[in-house]
Amino acid sequence: GIGRVAAGSVLLVANMKQPFSDAKGLISYAKANPGKVSFSGVKNVLPYMTAQAFANAAGIKFKHIPAKGDAGAVPMALGGHTNLVASSSLNAVASHLEAGTMTAIVAFSEERLPEIPKTPTAIELGFNVTGSPWTGIAVAKGVPEAIITKLRAELKAVVANPDFVVRATKAKTTVSYLDGPSFEKQWEREFTNFKGVVGK
């Protein structure tokens, strides 16, 4: 891996009518009501896999209700047809969080999102699960180490460039740089978390 350029976060979000309002309450409720907690989303894409990986790590089970992306999943949760939505990004639910019609239960970023600072990450809760839609650069095996080193240095310089950050921000992209080794560790962690939930 050369490095990660940008990253967002999958979120588990609930409407305000649920019998839980935080992750601890969700886990307790799910354990007391096996198979009753549902979430909406597209199967076998990042939000789905992240929600299922979190459930596995927490020792609970979620019932998946298919939906066509955030545009289909968010109304299902708002209308009470599902308990949760596994949202692909903060942007998809921001207006509902601001209006107080939904609450963010857990974020799957590496650190708390500054826009919703009260929402804990799964890592903080003791579960090594992340779900960050990211953009990064990698090269094929066999590329000489000297070239990899140069590419890593060039990428680091690009993402530190104020003009690049401004352009990315205007495009609603959160610059979140990871160097090559750290980026590779993220890949490894996600592979481990998600290999047991794809296709289930």
Give the pLDDT confidence of 22-65 residue by residue, as tens digits: 999 999 999 999 989 999 989 989 999 999 999 999 999 999 99
**How far apart, in whole angstroms, are the C-alpha atoms of residue 184 and residue 141?**
13
Averaged pLDDT score across all residues of the chain:
90
Tens digit of each residue's pLDDT (9 = 90 or more) over 98-109: 999 999 999 999
| Own/partner long-range contacts of 110-119 (Cβ < 8 Å, ≥24 apart) | 113/9, 115/90, 116/90, 119/11
Give the span between the Cα atoms of 68 and 87, in whole angstroms.
12
